[in-house]
Amino acid sequence: MKNYLLSGIAALALGAVIVAAWPQDGYSMDAPQGPMPVSVAVVMQKEITRWAEFSGRLRAVEDVEVRPRVNGIIDEVHFKEGDTVKKGDPLFTIDMRPFKAALAQAEAELASAQARAALAGSTAERAEKLFKQKALSQREYDERMNGNKEAQAAIKAAEAALTLAQLNVEYAEVRAPITGRVGRPDITVGNTVGAGMVVLTTIQSVDPVYADFDIDEQTYLRAMKSVRAGRAADMPVYMALADETEFKREGKIRSFDNQLSGDSGTMRVRAEFANTDGVLTPGLFARIRLGTADKTSAVLVNDSAVNTDQDRKYVYAVDDKGMVGYRPVQIGTLENGLRVVDSGLAAGEKIVVNGLQRVRPGMPVQPVIVSMETLKPEGAPASEGQPAAQEPAKEEAPQEGK
């Protein structure tokens, strides 16, 4: 009985081994198992405009603190906070009565000076005739001539006093020195102000506006090539606000600072943008894209081919023998959907662009050539296949040599 039981167990074990070794799911033991097919694209090289992106702040082209030019009491305020005013519009009125009285006094003094000058002129004419007839002494002649000159000088002094009085009356009406948006009135009706002592309000111009931003040293060196060639105006610059995804606002470069900051290694640049819609306000955050005046040759790859290994970027290159290699790269900006590679790749090399999570360095693969731009087989219609954006998430690469 024991022998029969052992024989049955041995038969069952042998059957299990045979079942386990039998091909499953239609897999043929005779099918060749070659390298895995992967999508591979050829690294491109094109003439492009090199772009760099920076952060900046908007500034008003004109920013004025409005101060009184005369002493007095505020009688009227002619605006509300946030109003848009034109150059010459009245903002404040200071009590004009003292200035008008001074103006009337200056006018009277001028009239008196003119009357005295007329009398002194007649006296000088008579003295001239008498002196020629030797009927007047030299001393008397000199006194009458000097009296005429003093009378003429008195007229000029009176005219100057009259001009000053007229200016004081004019300054009592505080007007907008520029066109722009006015701030809140810091001084209200009934307050006494001194000439130049207090800020009545502020005005900032609205259109155009400046965008100030700091560029790095490499961008500065590229920009200086255009500046030295007299093509600074040809450097394209675009702006997007914090809630805008596209750089649709086109501007122009106004100036570069005169030195590079030793602390930050950056240089301040100023661009000018139109503000026809009135949305741009001084102080707003802005993203700036600055391009080169001349096109430069650049190596380009599809952005989906670039992986991240901790703080480094890398791609998988495929050599002529179909072997995968780990290739660290330095990347730049996106240009029409393609990523600029500053170093690490050369035009004409082949890299893996799809299925990155299934390959490893040193692994043999079967390259399937696709377009670098569309990630589809070359010659295939644009509607075929899945877009690159739907590719599975990338995995971090193993460390080199592992």
Tell me how far apart the alpha carbons of residues 173 and 253 are, in angstroms, rounded to a whole number. 38
* Residue of 281, 272, 277 lying closest to 251 (CA atoms): 272
* Residue of 89, 97, 92 lying closest to 74 (CA atoms): 92
Tell me how far apart the alpha carbons of residues 371 and 385 are, in angstroms, rounded to a whole number. 12
Residues 6+ apart with CB under 8 A from 288: 53, 54, 55, 56, 211, 213, 237, 238, 239, 271
- Categorize the per-residue pLDDT at 395 as very low, low, confident or very high, splitting at 50, 70 and 90: very low
Q: Give per-residue pLDDT as tens, 180-217.
A: 999 988 888 999 998 888 999 999 999 899 999 998 88
Query: Are 176 and 85 contacting, i.e. CB atoms less than 8 angstroms apart?
Result: yes
Tell me how far apart the alpha carbons of residues 71 and 98 are, in angstroms, rounded to a whole number. 10
Tell me how far apart the alpha carbons of residues 54 and 215 are, in angstroms, rounded to a whole number. 7
Is pLDDT above 70 for 379?
Answer: no
Tell me how far apart the alpha carbons of residues 389 and 372 are, in angstroms, rounded to a whole number. 14
What are 58's strand-pairing partners? 211
Token pair of 296 as six digits: 């430069």
- Domains annotated for the chain, with CATH where assigned, are 37-49+296-390 (2.40.420.20), 51-62+206-291 (2.40.30.170), 96-170 (1.10.287.470)
H or E segment and range at residue 144: helix 138-171
User: What's the distance, CA 277 to chain centroid?
Assistant: 17
Query: Are 169 and 43 contacting, i.e. CB atoms less than 8 angstroms apart?
Result: no
Token pair of 71 as six digits: 């002493």
CA dihedral 176, 180, 186, 190 (to 10 degrees): 40
Please report the pLDDT score of residue 7 as a whole number: 52
Q: Give per-residue pLDDT as tens, 158-187.
A: 999 999 999 999 999 999 999 999 998 888
Whole-structure pTM value: 0.63
Please report the pLDDT score of residue 18 as a whole number: 39
Q: Give per-residue pLDDT as tens, 271-329.
A: 999 998 888 989 899 999 988 777 778 888 888 888 888 888 898 999 888 888 898 98
- The DSSP annotation for 316-337 comes to EEE-TT-BEEEEEEEEEEEETT
Q: What are phi and psi of 374, to 5 degrees?
A: -105, -15
Please report the pLDDT score of residue 378 as a whole number: 66
Residues 6+ apart with CB under 8 A from 291: 49, 50, 51, 52, 235, 236, 237
Please report the pLDDT score of residue 111 as a whole number: 92
Tell me how far apart the alpha carbons of residues 282 and 57 are, in angstroms, rounded to a whole number. 8
Query: Are 56 and 288 contacting, i.e. CB atoms less than 8 angstroms apart?
Result: yes
- Categorize the per-residue pLDDT at 35 as very low, low, confident or very high, splitting at 50, 70 and 90: confident
